[in-house]
A and B are shown apart, each in its own frame.
Chain A
Amino acid sequence: MLSLRGLRKNFGGLAVTDDVTLDVSPGEIHAIIGPNGAGKTTLINEISGVLPLDAGQILFDGRDVTRLPLHRRARLGLARSFQITSIIPDFSALENTALAVQAGDGSSFRFFRPTASEARLNTAAMAALDSVGLAHRAATPAGAMSHGEKRQLELAIALATQPRLLLLDEPLAGAGPEETERLIGILRSFRGRYTIMLVEHDMQAVFALADRISVLVYGRLIATGGPELIRQNPEVRAAYLGEDDIPLSGAPC
């Protein structure tokens, strides 16, 4: 599905992505973890096309997308969410999602088509809202939603672009315990339907969700494997030493 081949990126003299090679297979949930400053968001930005690479190759569905700009990759089915909540506060939940539907199908530049009358847009948008459990909030302005609902809405926006791969940058960031629970449930319901690559700090969530986990430290991948394998890996444990807030051993399976 997604193949990263020897990705490299330097900021000044600092290697933020250092020879990263990784395969994400169709239908899996693949988590990227690592201490702060490991280059996780940078990696997401490289894959989605926000940051150009110094070297390496990105294959999406066998197609080389290394040089494609952001919006072209999105049209091929690479959807991403942002670490910082990204919604349009003045639009309703439905409008936010309909915007994503129309962006995904490339009809945006047919200027004078009224938005409201396009039933097809709204049907697709409602379906996306429904799959994140927000159908009942369709008419609510996004700015008036709770933080957890905003994060759900972001997932709906990503789904509405008809993605083949979801790149999620800390989808649980800032969510409270109950909200986290709900979001994990939603992400779990995506399993098998979407291929997901996610960066997340919440280790409990990662170990509960991911089929495979890759560990990034100072821009290098030090391990990739199933949750159990990663938990036992001495290098991973060493990398997390001193980070008290990440209870690697305490994470239930």
Chain B
Amino acid sequence: MSLTLLLVQGLNGLQLGILLFLIAAGLTLVFGVMDFINLAHGVQYMLGAYFAAHFAAATDSFWLALLLALPATLLVGLVLEFLVFRHLYDRDHMAQVLATFGVILILNDGVRWVFGSAPLQVPMPEALTGGFPIMDGLLYPHYRLAIIAGGLATAGLLWWLVERTKVGMLIRAGATNAPMVAALGVDIRRLFMVVFGFGAMLAGFAGVMAAPILSVEPGMGDNLLILAFVVIVIGGIGSVRGAFLAALLVGLVETLGRSLMPDVMRLFLDPSSARQVGAALASMLVYIAMAAILALRPAGLFPVRTA
């Protein structure tokens, strides 16, 4: 394991973390403000990628595709809220889990029906095809750096929205004490719709950005959704700041674990079993980290305090 490889894997981990944050931000606010578990949030990520593929093929431009895919995911999010989720807020968590899981199945099959089950490719935007030389002969793709930069900029924008604007103040207050905010005269359902639509669009944005480096296929959001739940639990439910740090942590642990664990195991085991045990341990590492953090801080890193 060379330093260069460590650097590359570190950057990859950061990039996974950024994508996770974009998905987790909406999830944590929806869970925090409305106590609503939305398993179908990962579907928004998948739809973002599919919209990107569709619009990129139609317009021949990644940037136009990005511009069109964002309002498209926003629209889908609002329609789902109106048709399905709105009727689930007063139900218990089990009903929410079942119904939103149903939405995952329907939409995963829906995209298969419309776009086919073969993975789609989205060409990288021309301006970002090159690479950044990390060492002789080793280029780190510009596009992956752009994902990190775009994600960080979005995180900054989100911080400003949540911490510095009136609607952000309401969202933070709503995540702490929704009944009180409603009693002050705020239409909490409307606030929730705004949060929901915006969260769906962020997840869609993550999907658009991931589309050129991953294959766009049905169910691509499912794995990330589980990681996103790990992120919001570690970060503290309802906390955007917590989600940001936890997402970077999970992204790094997940990526570095996969590349480092087999090497670490080789210190104790013969090469072939080291590879197996290392791989098995690597996939558990995120959950071990979650268990450790929750043992120390049961409400997550940045719990939203209630009165």
Q: Is A148 an interface position by the 8 A CB rule?
A: no
B176 and A103 contacting across the interface, CB-CB below 8 Å: no
Chain A residue, CB-CB nearest to B167: A111
Q: Is B297 an interface position by the 8 A CB rule?
A: no
Q: How far is the CB of B74 from chain A (nearest CB, A)?
A: 14
- Measured as residues with beta carbon below 8 angstroms from the partner, the interface class of chain A is 35 or more
B179 and A143 contacting across the interface, CB-CB below 8 Å: no
**8 Å CB contacts to A: which residues of B187-220?**
187-188, 190-191, 194
B165 and A111 contacting across the interface, CB-CB below 8 Å: yes
Q: How far is the CB of B127 from chain A (nearest CB, A)?
A: 29
A99 and B183 contacting across the interface, CB-CB below 8 Å: no
Q: How far is the CB of B242 from chain A (nearest CB, A)?
A: 13
Partner among A50, A85, A115, A142 whose Cβ is within 8 Å of the Cβ of B179: A50
Q: Is A116 an interface position by the 8 A CB rule?
A: yes
Give A90 to B304 CA distance when docked, in angstroms: 8
Convert B156-191 into 0s and 1s, putting 1 for each residue whose CB lies closer than 8 angstroms to a CB of A: 000001001111111011001101111111111011
Give A111 to B190 CA distance when docked, in angstroms: 13
B176 and A112 contacting across the interface, CB-CB below 8 Å: no
**8 Å CB contacts to A: which residues of B246-303?**
none
B165 and A113 contacting across the interface, CB-CB below 8 Å: yes
Complex contacts, B173 vs chain A, CB 8 Å = 88, 91, 99
With contacts A90-B176, A108-B170 taken as known, whether A115 is within 8 angstroms of B164 at the C-beta atoms is yes
A103 and B165 contacting across the interface, CB-CB below 8 Å: no
Q: Is A74 an interface position by the 8 A CB rule?
A: yes
Q: Is B307 an interface position by the 8 A CB rule?
A: yes
**8 Å CB contacts to B: which residues of A102-154?**
102-104, 106-116, 118, 142-143, 150
With contacts A99-B170, A109-B167, A115-B164 taken as known, whether A86 is within 8 angstroms of B185 at the C-beta atoms is no
Chain A residue, CB-CB nearest to B184: A103
Give A74 to B184 CA distance when docked, in angstroms: 6
Complex contacts, A199 vs chain B, CB 8 Å = none
Give A108 to B185 CA distance when docked, in angstroms: 10
Most buried by A among B166, B168, B305, B307: B166
B185 and A88 contacting across the interface, CB-CB below 8 Å: no
Q: How far is the CB of B229 from chain A (nearest CB, A)?
A: 24
Complex contacts, A80 vs chain B, CB 8 Å = 183
Which 3 residue pairs across A and B have the least CB separation, nearest first? A74-B185, A103-B184, A86-B180
Q: Can you give 5 A-B contacts (C-beta < 8 A)? A: A75-B185, A89-B306, A91-B169, A103-B186, A111-B161
Binding site for B on A (CB under 8 A): 48, 50, 69-71, 74-75, 79-80, 82, 84-91, 95, 98-100, 102-104, 106-116, 118, 142-143, 150, 157, 161
